[in-house]
Chains A and B, each alone.
Chain A
Amino acid sequence: MRLSFILPIGIFAILAALFGIYLYQIGPGGKDIKQIPSVLIDKELPEFELPPIEGRGDGLNTSDLKGRAALVNVFASWCPPCRTEHPGLMQLAKEGFALYGINYKDKPKDAMGFLARLGDPFKRIGADANGRAAIEWGVYGYPESFIIDRTGRIRYKHIGPIMPRDLEMTIRPLLEKFSK
């Protein structure tokens, strides 16, 4: 067979296969191409220092996060998906995992109300009133969660609410893996 006959068909087949794979990946339940991979993966934790939410006594800074695997969750009371994922966070806390919160651009009263109503899964919470710490973490959508290991490196980033499936498939297994 002539090359000029096979070549176009071959190129078409390769392209069709590539497009097929791509479409399959972004299909229902697949990866969200609007999500931007974090450059901070496997990097040192960003330097930040946050005061507590008014009315609490904790606050959060970089050194608070060192020493053990943990989940760092960026949340706000005004963010509906944060509410959606909250029971999952409560469950993780109950199982003994360390969770830390960054309360993003929230009114102290609203944040306290949110935690009083839905429960407080966090060991410590820092109030990021002007959103600067979130920028240090490369946050652009809410909620976002980071899994950090005991050496103080970011190992995984989850954008959007942690749905039960995410919790079972990725978040808990990763927390278990880095806790060992």
Chain B
Amino acid sequence: MRARARLILLLLAVTVAAPAMAVEPHEILNDPALEARARDISKILRCLVCQNQSIDDSNAGLARDLRVIVRERLTAGDSDDAVIAFVTSRYGDFVLLKPPFKSTTYLLWGGPGIILLIGLVAVVVTFRRRAAQPSDAAPLTDDEMQRLEKLTDGGRDP
């Protein structure tokens, strides 16, 4: 029992521990509210050197420079949107880890919905057609009826 408790504590210690961050201590702003905003922005900006990490996660030099710029602009009084616009105006929408919803990305965001809709229409059409179609199988002959009755024991439950 003691051993199990110990194990659980150990697991907790490992999982609850803060994940390693790329943000270096001297980069962190004194104002916790600004720093929180900076972290949120950094998490949605892609590091262009590694391309699958945010600048918040990346140790690349460019990611560090961009983290510092994000903090500088926030300190200067920019809104979150203004900071993000500053970066996208230089590096394009590709720096946003989540693509924006705009005319060039309607298909990207709407695609799954459109495909689902096509599927639904196909299902409805198929069922309707099947229901409307009269069964073209000929009715059973008397002979077949008798054999069927024999096989099913006159329709009674055994």
A residues apposed to B, CB below 8 Å: 34, 36-40, 46, 105, 130-132, 135-138, 140-141
Contact = CB atoms under 8 A, between A and B. Distances in A.
A38 B92 contact: yes
Interface of B: 48-49, 51, 61-62, 65-66, 69, 88-94
A36 B90 CA distance: 12
B48 A140 contact: yes
B25 to A, nearest CB: 19
Given A39-B92, A40-B90, A135-B66, 9 more contacts: A36-B92, A36-B94, A37-B92, A39-B93, A135-B65, A135-B69, A138-B91, A140-B62, A141-B48
Contacts of A132: 65, 69
A32 to B, nearest CB: 12
Contacts of A34: 51
A36 B91 contact: yes
10 contacts: A36-B94, A38-B92, A39-B89, A39-B90, A40-B90, A105-B61, A131-B61, A131-B65, A138-B91, A138-B92
A135 B61 CA distance: 12
A131 B89 contact: no
Given A131-B61, A131-B62, A132-B65, A140 B49 contact: yes
B64 to A, nearest CB: 9
Contacts of A136: 90
A127 to B, nearest CB: 16
Contacts of B89: 39
Contacts of A38: 92
Contacts of B90: 39-40, 46, 135-138
Nearest to A139: B62
B62 A39 contact: no
A33 B48 CA distance: 13
Contacts of B92: 36-39, 138
A140 B62 CA distance: 7
B75 to A, nearest CB: 16
A149 B90 CA distance: 19
A140 B94 CA distance: 12
Contacts of A39: 88-93
Interface centre among A130, A137, A140, A141 (most CB of B within 10 A): A140
Contacts of A46: 90
